[in-house]
Amino acid sequence: MIDVLFDAVVSICQPETLLVLLLATMASLIIGATPGLTVNMAVALAVPLTMHMPLEPSLVLLLALYCSGIFGGSVSAILINAPGTPASAATVLDGYPLAQQGKAGKALKMALAASLAGGLFSVLVLVLISRTVADFALLFGPAERAALLLFALTLVGLLSGHSILKGLIAGSLGLLLSTVGLDPMLAVPRFTFGLLELEDGLSLIPVLVGLFAISEVLLQAETRMRGAIGLDLRQTHDKMLNRLSWGEISASARTIVRSSLIGTFIGILPGIGATVASFVGYGEAKRSSRQPQLFGKGSLEGVAASEAANNAVTGATLIPLLALSIPGDSVTAILYGALLIQGVTPGPLLFQTGLGLVYEIYVALIAANLFMAGVGLAFLPLFRHVTRAPARVLFPIVFVLSVVGAWSVRNNAFDLYVMMGFGALGYVLRRVEVPLAPLLIAFILGVPFEQALRQALVSSDGSPAVFLSRPLSAALIVVTVASLAWMAWRNRKESTA
């Protein structure tokens, strides 16, 4: 075990990998700090680059973008009252009032400390429980796999947006899109319309670049990219006001630990994500605080609560991804795709055949969190410039980078058309508030779900009773139906209230 860990540390500490980590951390802090540029978009744009990189730098690039991007979102939340990522929306509530009081530096340092603590805590939980979960998952047959994937897809559909039905429709559209190409069991073409380019299915990278990057650029175009980003910066240079003392950190320590636990728990569940975690962490901190009256007026505890919770999601979402092969949100779905492209299939077998890689992921996550803290601290004086980036220059550059990224996958014009098509689809869906996460996750999990479902049904001569005759799959089916019924009941109650 120790030798595997040592090998992982050595491979992540190679100079070129560390350089990638440094650059990725810097880039993701800038991207996260820029409202409109989301972590999803950054990770989606980075995936084409990873195709031409060795495995370790690829992992480091994507994980650093993920971890630091979430913290980066707090920068603009604190400085300009505009969360850089949705996960930082709760940070606005206390971060911006602190900035108005001339304590932007203090708020940013607290956000950084809480993000580091939350991120490292969730990595610890990942290390401690993912092996156990994976060992348990090895006992799964096709019926259990199909039931588990059905449960995950249902949960993602139910929890990803404001409307249950829209989430479920997005999920079913994702499943339908996953059937394009050759049938995985009999190699019969489906929905290919005679196009050879579609026989391998819709290529993942153009799909996700279109859904996340192009749709965001089109949404920004609605406002004609006016003004943009830096509007009202109130960070002062008063060193006394902006110093964060140990006393202030220790006063928030309980909040940080509680929020880390909340974020980790929410991160393990598919479909909920960092935004919900930060609000739950914030709400719980306010409820149990000795000074709840300060919340919303510039409470350091409030900043610590939301930031610890949203960063605690980053490591936790990798538990279902690595152990069960289930991505819980859009970013982990993109990470899943990137691993597949690298020839690595996440899932319980990875812990048997590729333990070294699992340890490399652990070490890369720890390194990404530490680099986030170091680079974040060094970047604090520069953040004011980042938040002033003009959108009308930034988003056209994002667009051409998307085109070049989609092209670089297979040097194929067809992929560009797919990217534009999915960009338009993503734009329309976001305008009508249909969540994209269920669509992407169902698109990625569609093929394994179909295989497991068909294998289970074939083994039982077509009888669906196979799902109820095995205890675990029966339990999962019951939980799935119960989740659907509970959410439908809650939705109905809310709409009649």
Partner 1 sequence: MRSTEFRLGIAFATLALAALLLVPTISNEWRRSTIAGDQFFTLGPRFFPFVAVALMGLFSALLIVSNRRTASRDEPRRPLRAVVAFFVIGAAYVAAFPFWGLLATPFCLGALFFYFGVRRWTTLVLVPIVTTVLMVICFEHVMRIPLP
What character string, x for contact with partner 1 (CB under 8 A) and - otherwise, covers 263-302?
Answer: ----------------------------------------
What is the size of the binding site for partner 1 (CB under 8 A)?
61
99 or 391: CB nearest partner 1: 391
Buried b (16+ CB within 10 A) or exposed e, 276-310: bbbbbbbbbbbeebeeeebbeebbbbbbbbbbbbb
Task: Output the six-digit token pair for 67.
Answer: 């971890």
| Residue 116 is a binding residue for partner 1 (CB under 8 A) | no
Which parts of 128-167 interact with partner 1 (CB under 8 A)? 163, 165-166
List 129, 294, 355, 401, residue binding partner 1 (CB under 8 A): 401
Angle subtended at Cα 70 by Cα 44 and Cα 364, rounded to the nearest 5 degrees: 75
- Of 74, 148, 135, 83, which is closest to residue 470 (Cα–Cα)? 148
Are residues 210 and 469 in contact, defined by beta-carbon separation less than 8 angstroms? no
Virtual torsion, Cα 189, 190, 193, 194, nearest 10 deg:
0
* Per CB under 8 A, 461 contacts partner 1: yes
169 sits near partner 1 (criterion: CB under 8 A): yes
Whether the CA torsion 449, 276, 262, 165 is positive or negative: it is negative
Residues facing 190 on adjacent strands: 181
Our finding on whether 196 is near partner 1 (CB under 8 A) is: no
CB-based contact 304:113 (threshold 8 Å): yes
User: Can residue 432 be called a binding residue for partner 1 (CB under 8 A)?
Assistant: yes
Show the beta-strand stretches assigned E in 169-257. 181-182, 189-190
Amino acid at the residue 73:
G
Q: Does 222 bind partner 1 (CB under 8 A)?
A: yes
Site string for partner 1, 319-358 (x = CB under 8 A): ----------------------------------------
152, 280, 358, 453: which one binds partner 1 (CB under 8 A): 453
Site string for partner 1, 47-76 (x = CB under 8 A): --x--xx-----------------------
Residue with smaller CB distance to partner 1, 66 or 399: 399
Closer to partner 1 by CB, 240 or 432: give it. Answer: 432
Question: Nearer to partner 1 by C-beta: 462 or 471?
Answer: 462
Closest CB to partner 1 among residues 5, 417: 417
Nearest of 155, 176, 169, 154 to residue 434 by alpha carbon: 169
Is residue 298 left, alpha or beta, with left meaning phi > 0 and alpha meaning psi from -120 to 50?
left
As a whole number of Å, the end-to-end CA separation of the chain is 56
Segment lying near partner 1 (by CB under 8 A), choices 229-237, 301-309, 368-376, 449-457: 449-457
Instruction: Give contact residues for partner 1 (rule: CB under 8 A).
Output: 49, 52-53, 163, 165-166, 168-169, 171-173, 175-176, 178-179, 183, 185-186, 188-191, 214, 217-218, 221-226, 392-393, 396-397, 399-401, 403-404, 407-408, 411, 413, 416-417, 419-420, 424, 427, 431-432, 434, 446, 450, 453-454, 457-458, 461-462
